[in-house]
Structure 1
Amino acid sequence: MPHAVSLLRAARLTHSVKPFLARRGSRSPRCAGCRLLPSHCICGLRPVVSTDAGMCLLMADIEPLKPSNTGWLIADLVADTFAFAWARTAVDPALLALLADPQWQPYVVFPGEYAAPERVVHAVQPAPAASGRRPLFILLDGTWSEARKMFGKSPYLAHLPVLSLQPDRASEYKLRRSRRNDHFCTSEVAAMCLALAGEEQAAQALDAWLDVFSYHYLQARNQQKIDWDSPAHQRLRALEASTV
């Protein structure tokens, strides 16, 4: 069944005047479920996890169209994932309704140095919180410059707490280049949020899912076969075995 990011991608495609071609990507047909070449499909490997936390993705214009987008991986695993296209001059009423829903405690995930000190928090009350509100992590999905624009030009986020992460490692994401090691892909950020919310099993599963996706993506890009005993596959199988 299509999830929030796949539905947003389909909606974005209806407004495209020409096909989106990923840079360095293959023009061959891709699997609708994982966006990889059918020969490198990972749909049958997707782990099943349960989470109390939710994810809200605000996505820059063409982000849903990129095969390397990792917000898709979040929606693969986190059932309560919501995805919205970001625009400076308009806001989806469904997004405003979500932010106002009393079952959720929204957190804007962004570096604290860009927010007023009184808004910044570094911890999350594990779900379910004493108030009964579940954490909803708002992730700004785009390039760094796009994310900064979304953070600064979205007044409907200005009253929400800003969750400033303090990672103890560098990003391991290999599908896009970044000038800074402290910039993480959206999936990595989501995994750190889940861990802060006390959902360590889901956090590890999401990191492992990113590893498998990245491995298959790069193998397809380089026209290489899959080694089903690769470290990424072994890690995913070990996590699944530990939950049985």
Structure 2
Amino acid sequence: MSHAVFRLRAVRMARAVKPFMARGSRAIRCPDCRVPASHCFCAWRPRVATESGICLLMHDIEVLKPSNTGWLIADLVEQTTAFGWLRTAVDADLLALLADPQWQPYVVFPGEFVAPERVVHELAPLPGKRPLFILLDATWTEARKMFRKSPYLASLPVLSLQPEQLSRYRLRRSKRDDHLCTAEVAALCLELAGDLQAATALDAYLDVFTGHYLAAKLHHALNLDDDAHRALKVFL
């Protein structure tokens, strides 16, 4: 496997002072899907074309967490880039991406925390440009800090999503059910941009990932004919 998140993880691990110890780290994990090898779901990676791009701005250790769902986005959306976030520096490749004329960047963030004149709820595509969704991949507390302390994002429109559903993500705890995981946010962005097949596939892929992850954690057998696997099978 070689995609943006995979490469970013390799860079982050290379400069680690000590190994990152995730819960259940004694398990032998598949190096590609991060799920224990007994419940590997690499064979379920969907193949769907997209017009949109996703830019993941990832908090320092987020890329090391096996429960991270930014990986799923990079698995599915070919035009995914990933950058580690630092308060004191910005990657020159990120700045070049934001200035690339083929893209119309949108920072995806709740509008209630942003000056009203920056907030949009719909896309306004410009001729010759495709939407580039910038997702802050972090805990909510970390994401707010990242948003405030990233001046290179300050001139960009902020896409404020208004999801109708509650989060289905079950691998980490959140105090609020309306806080979606990164893959759920990406699926909503893809839907808004008209990449409907990709949005549906990503939702199904998240459900299958969650099922495999939890089954491995609880030492349960997999049911490869459940609703989640059947929904994803049409995109293989």
Name the TM tier (shorter chain): over 0.9
Report the 3-state secondary structure (helix = DSSP H, G, I; strand = E; otherwise coil) of the residue aligned with 1:240: coil
The DSSP-based 3-state class of the residue aligned with 1:171 is coil
Aligned to 1:121: 120
Question: In the TM superposition, what whole-angstrom CA distance separates every residue of 1:66-86 from its partner, at most 9, and x where no partner exists?
Answer: 000000000000001000000
Residues in 1 aligned to 2:170 and 2:68: alpha-carbon distance in whole angstroms:
12
Alignment of 1:102-181 (within 5 A): 102-125=101-124, 129-181=125-177
1:1-244 to 2 correspondence within 5 Å?
A: 1-23=1-23, 25-125=24-124, 129-237=125-233, 239-240=234-235
One-letter identity of the residue aligned with 2:19: P
SS at match of 1:20: coil
Tell me which amino acid in the other structure corresponds to 2:158.
V
Give the conservation status (yes or no) of the 8 Å contact 2:108–2:135: yes
TM-score, structure 2 normalization: 0.97
Q: CA deviation at 1:29?
A: 2.3
Q: Deviations over 1:181-221 (max 9, x none)?
A: 11000000000000000111100000000000000000000
Contact 1:31 1:41 in 2 (8 A): yes
Distance of 1:20 and 1:171 partners within structure 2? 27
Q: CA deviation at 1:28?
A: 2.3
Answer yes or no: is the 8 Å Cα contact 1:26–1:221 preserved in 2: no
Q: 1:91-148: CA deviations, max 9, x gaps?
A: 00000000000000000000001111111000114xxx44110100000000000000
| Contact kept? 2:48, 2:235, Cα under 8 Å | no
Distance 2:235 2:51 in 1: 19
Partner Cα distance (1:141, 1:98) in 2: 18
Q: Structure 2: which 5+ runs fail to align?
A: none
Structure 1 stretches of 4+ moved >6 Å: none
Report Cα offsets for 1:37-65 as digits up to 9, x if no partner: 11111111111000010000000010000
Identity of aligned residues (%): 66
Question: What CA distance in whole angstroms lies between the structure 2 residues aligned with 1:183 and 1:240?
Answer: 27
Aligned AA (1:157): L
Aligned partner letter, 1:31: C
Q: What is the Cα-based RMSD across aligned positions, in Å?
A: 1.1
Count of residues in Structure 1 that have an aligned counterpart in Structure 2: 236
TM-score (norm 1): 0.94
Q: Distance in 1 between matches of 2:235 and 2:105?
A: 30
Contact 2:188-2:199 at 8 Å conserved across structures: yes
Tell me how far apart the structure 2 counterparts of residues 72 and 162 of structure 1 sit (CA, whole Å). Answer: 23
Which whole-Å CA distance do the structure 1 matches of 2:70 and 2:21 have between them?
A: 19
What is the CA distance between 1:225 and its match in structure 2? 1.4
